[in-house]
Structure 1
Amino acid sequence: MTTSPHSAWGTEVDWASGTLRDRSSARPPAQWMPAPQPGTLPKRPFTFFEAMDGGFRLLRFAPGATFGTAMIVHTLVTLAAGLALTALVVGNAGFVGRVFENPEAGLGLNIVVQTVSVVASFLVLSLVPLLSAFAAVAADAAFSRERMPLSAVWRALHGSRLRLVLLCTVCFAAHILVLGVLILPGLLLLALSPVAGVLVATLGVVLWVAATACLFTKFALAGAALAVEGLGVFAALKRSWELTRGGFWKSFGQLALSYVLSSQVVGLILTPILFVLMFGFILVFVVVALDGGSGAEAFAGIALTVGMGVAVAAVAIAASALMFAFLSGVVAMVYLDRRMRREGYDLVLLHRAELEESASARTADSTDPQAHLTGTGGPH
C-alpha cells in the first residue's frame, strides 16, 4: 500500500498509542513544572572545609534557630553565673578584702581566677548538645530549602526538650567528675607541699583539657541525634560514639578548628567594640566630672559604671552566642556528614527531594487551568 506525499507529511506518530494521527489536530498543552530546588546544603557527603562552611551558611539561612537560641541560652547562663558569683563575693567579703591586702595572696587569687575562667570556658561546651539540636533540625530542613524559624524548631522538638536538658546535665556532670578525679591528687598534695600540689593540680587541668577535647568529639553529635532521630539520652550518647567511629580525627579537626577560628574572630570583633565603649565611658565621665558638684558627679559615676558593665556584658554575651551558634552549626554538619558516609543518608535526602518535587508537580497540575482542557477540543 502506497501513501501519498501529502498524507505522509501530514501525519505523525502518536507515541502513546503507536498509531498515526493527523498533524492538524491540537496537541496536548505543555505542562509547566517548577524547577527542582537544589537546597541550601548539598545532598552528598561534605569535604573537610564544606562542613565548616556549612556552619556559616546555616547561620545565615536560619539565624533564629542558631544565633537566636545561643543568645537566649547564653543570656540565661550568664545571669545565673553572675548571681552565683555575686552571692559568693558578698558572702565572703571579709576574706576577699584580706586577700587583696596581701600581695602574695592576691597573686595566688589571680592564678585561681585565670584557671577557673579556662575551666569555665570548657564547661560551657556542655551547652553544645542543646544548641546543636536546634541547629540540626534547621539543617535537616535546609536540604529542602525550607526556612525554619525558631518557633518552628521549638515545636519540632516537642517531646525532646526535657531530654535535651537532661543530656546537657549529664555532659556537665561528666566534665566535673573527670576534672575532680584529675585534680584530686594535686589538692591532696597541697597539705604536704603547696608548690608541688599546685604543679600537680595544674597538670591535672591540662590532662582534663585533653580529655575534654577527646570526649567532646566522641559525644558532640548526641544532641543532634536526639533531636533528629528521637533517641533517649544514653542512646543518643551511644549513637554519637558510633557515628564518630572511623572518622574521629576528621571530626576532631573540624570541631577544634571551628572552635579556634570562631574564638579568634570573636576576639577581633570584641576588642574594638570594648575599646570604643571604654573610650566613651571615660570621655563622658570626664565631661561630667568637669561640669558639676560632688553629688551629681557621684551619681553620674555610679550610673556610668552600671551602664558600662551592662554594655560590656551585652557585647560579651552576643559575641559568645555568635561563636557557639557557628560551632553548633558545624556540629550539625558533622552529624549529617557522618550519617551520609556510614549509612547513605544522602540517598534518603535525594529520595525525599524526589517526593517533594513530585508533590510540587501535582500541586502545579491541580492549580493550572490548562490541565483541565482536552487534547482535541481546546478551550471553548
Structure 2
Amino acid sequence: MPPAPKPGVIPLRPLSVAEILEGSIATMRAHSRTVLGISLGLAVVTETVSTLVTGFFFNSNPSLDKLRDGTTTKVSDVLKAFGDSVAGSGSASLISMLGQIIATAMLTMIVSRSVLGRSVTAGEAWRDSRPRLVRMLGLTLLIPLIGLAIVGLGVMPGVLLALFGSANAGAGLAFLGGTAGGCVAIWLTISLSLSSPALMLEKQGVFASIARSYKLVRGSWWRVFGVQLLAILMAFIITSIVSIPFTVIAQIVSSDNTGGLLAGAGSHIGWAFLIVIGVGAVVGTMFTFPLSAGMAALLYMDQRIRREGLDIELARAAGVDGYAASPSRE
C-alpha cells in the first residue's frame, strides 16, 4: 500500500500521538517567523500589561498595606484586602487569557494552512481569525463556567446538610459530591476540548462548536484525554525549564539593596522581581502558545480524518492527484 501523501506537516491519514506532537513542532519550524512572531508579540503585550497591573495594584493598595504592616484588626479590612488581591490577580489572569485566545485563534489558522503545505502571513492569520474572536472569548469563558457549575451542584447537598443538619455528615457529603462533580467536569471538559478548533475552522457558533466537539470526541475520550494531557505536560515542562533560571535571577536582583528604583521595599512585590519573572514568562509563552494550539488543531483534524474522511478533502485542497481514502477510518 503506497504511503499517504504529505503535502504539509502531517501525512494525510489517521495520526499517532507522536505524529500530532511532531506536526505541531514541524509547524513551528516551517513557519517559525510567523508563528514565533505572533506568539512573541502577544506574549510581550500581555505580560507587560499584566506585570504593570500586578505591580501597581499590589504595591499601591491601602488595604494590602495595612495587612502587611499589621495595623488592621478589623475583619472587614481583612476581607477587603482579600477581595482586592483576588481582583488584582483576576485582572492579570484575564489579560493573559485574552492574549491566549488571540494567539490560539491565529495559530489555528496557520496550522490549517501548514497541513496543506501552504504558507500564511501574520496579517492573513489575523484577518481569518478576527471575525470569530468574540465567539472564542465566549467559548473560553463558557466551558470553565459549566465545569464550575457542575462541581457546585455536587457540593451543594453537603453544604445544605451542614447548614441545617449535621456538620460532619454535611462535610463528608460535600467532599463526595465535589469529587463526583469534579470527575464529571473533567469528562465534560475533555469532551468539549475540540470546540475551539471547530469554531475557528468550521466557522460555527459557540453552541454548535460545543456540540461538534462532543460528537468528535465521543467514543475516543481516552485518546483525546491522553493527547490533551501530553500537551499540558509539554507546556508545563517548557515553562518550568524556562522559569527556573529567571526565578533565580529575579530573587537575586530583587534582594539587592542597591537595586535603586527597581527594588521592592519591605514586603512589597519588587519591580525587579516582576520584570525578570515577566521576561521569563514571555520566553516560555512564546513556545507554549504554538505547541498547545498546534496539538489541539491537529487532534481535531485527526478526529475528523478518522470519522469523516477529512484526508480526502485535504488531499484535494492540496492538489494531490490520484488520492483515495480507505473505506474504513476506525
User: Is the contact made by 2:192 and 2:214 (CA closer than 8 Å) also made in structure 1?
Assistant: yes
Structure 1 residues 311 and 201, CA gap change in structure 2 (3 angstroms): farther
1:141 aligns with 2:113: yes
2:12 corresponding residue in structure 1: 43
User: Is the contact made by 2:48 and 2:278 (CA closer than 8 Å) also made in structure 1?
Assistant: no
Listed as ranges, the gaps of 5+ residues in structure 2 are 79-84, 322-330
Structure 1 residues 87 and 208, CA gap change in structure 2 (3 angstroms): farther
Secondary structure of the residue aligned to 1:45 is coil
User: Is the contact made by 1:127 and 1:168 (CA closer than 8 Å) also made in structure 2?
Assistant: no
- Based on CA coordinates, which of the two structures has the bigger radius of gyration? 1
Secondary structure of the residue aligned to 2:12 is coil
Structure 1 residues 317 and 344, CA gap change in structure 2 (3 angstroms): same
- In 1: Cα distance, 2:303 partner to 2:310 partner: 9
- In 2: Cα distance, 1:237 partner to 1:248 partner: 15
User: Is the contact made by 2:194 and 2:296 (CA closer than 8 Å) also made in structure 1?
Assistant: yes
Q: Which stretch shifts more, 80-89 or 327-336?
A: 80-89
1:75 to 44, 47, 54: 47
1:308 to 258, 273, 293: 273
1:177 to 142, 149, 154: 149
Superposed CA deviations along residues 298-317 of structure 1, whole A, max 9, x for unmatched, are: x5644993122222133235
1:269 corresponding residue in structure 2: 242
Q: Which stretch shifts more, 253-262 or 62-71?
A: 62-71
Q: Which stretch shifts more, 306-315 or 215-224?
A: 306-315
- In 1: Cα distance, 2:285 partner to 2:262 partner: 30
Structure with the bigger RCO (C-alpha within 8 Å, sep 6+) is 1
2:126 corresponding residue in structure 1: 154
- In 2: Cα distance, 1:222 partner to 1:335 partner: 9
- In 2: Cα distance, 1:181 partner to 1:127 partner: 31
User: Is the contact made by 1:223 and 1:236 (CA closer than 8 Å) also made in structure 2?
Assistant: yes
Q: CA deviation at 1:191?
A: 9.4
1:323 aligns with 2:267: no
User: Is the contact made by 1:89 and 1:96 (CA closer than 8 Å) also made in structure 2?
Assistant: no
Q: CA deviation at 1:97?
A: 6.2
Superposed CA deviations along residues 8-33 of structure 1, whole A, max 9, x for unmatched, are: xxxxxxxxxxxxxxxxxxxxxxxxxx
User: Is the contact made by 1:65 and 1:149 (CA closer than 8 Å) also made in structure 2?
Assistant: no
Q: How does 1:18-37 map to 2 (within 5 A)?
A: none
Structure 1 residues 341 and 200, CA gap change in structure 2 (3 angstroms): same
1:229 aligns with 2:202: yes
User: Is the contact made by 2:264 and 2:270 (CA closer than 8 Å) also made in structure 1?
Assistant: yes
Secondary structure of the residue aligned to 1:146 is coil
Q: CA deviation at 1:259?
A: 0.8
When normalised by structure 2's length, the TM-score is: 0.70
Q: CA deviation at 1:248?
A: 1.3
Percent identical among aligned pairs is 22
Q: How does 1:187-202 map to 2 (within 5 A)?
A: 189=162
User: Is the contact made by 1:38 and 1:145 (CA closer than 8 Å) also made in structure 2?
Assistant: yes
Aligned-residue CA RMSD (Å): 4.5
Letter in 2 for 1:353: A
User: Is the contact made by 1:129 and 1:220 (CA closer than 8 Å) also made in structure 2?
Assistant: no
User: Is the contact made by 2:47 and 2:282 (CA closer than 8 Å) also made in structure 1?
Assistant: yes
1:109 corresponding residue in structure 2: none
Letter in 2 for 1:134: M
2:310 corresponding residue in structure 1: 345
Letter in 1 for 2:120: M
User: Is the contact made by 1:74 and 1:320 (CA closer than 8 Å) also made in structure 2?
Assistant: no
Q: Which stretch shifts more, 252-261 or 206-215?
A: 206-215
2:214 to 241, 245, 252: 241
Q: CA deviation at 1:55?
A: 2.2
1:294 corresponding residue in structure 2: none
Letter in 1 for 2:249: V
Structure 1 residues 355 and 301, CA gap change in structure 2 (3 angstroms): closer
Secondary structure of the residue aligned to 2:270 is helix
Structure 1 residues 80 and 181, CA gap change in structure 2 (3 angstroms): farther
Letter in 2 for 1:143: V
1:24 corresponding residue in structure 2: none
- In 1: Cα distance, 2:241 partner to 2:300 partner: 29
1:163 aligns with 2:128: no
Superposed CA deviations along residues 147-167 of structure 1, whole A, max 9, x for unmatched, are: 223321110124322222222
Q: Which stretch shifts more, 166-175 or 237-246?
A: 166-175
Structure 1 residues 135 and 302, CA gap change in structure 2 (3 angstroms): closer
Structure 1 residues 233 and 82, CA gap change in structure 2 (3 angstroms): same
1:367 corresponding residue in structure 2: none
User: Is the contact made by 1:67 and 1:322 (CA closer than 8 Å) also made in structure 2?
Assistant: yes
Secondary structure of the residue aligned to 1:159 is helix
1:60 corresponding residue in structure 2: 29
Structure 1 residues 185 and 270, CA gap change in structure 2 (3 angstroms): farther
Q: CA deviation at 1:197?
A: 7.3
1:251 corresponding residue in structure 2: 224
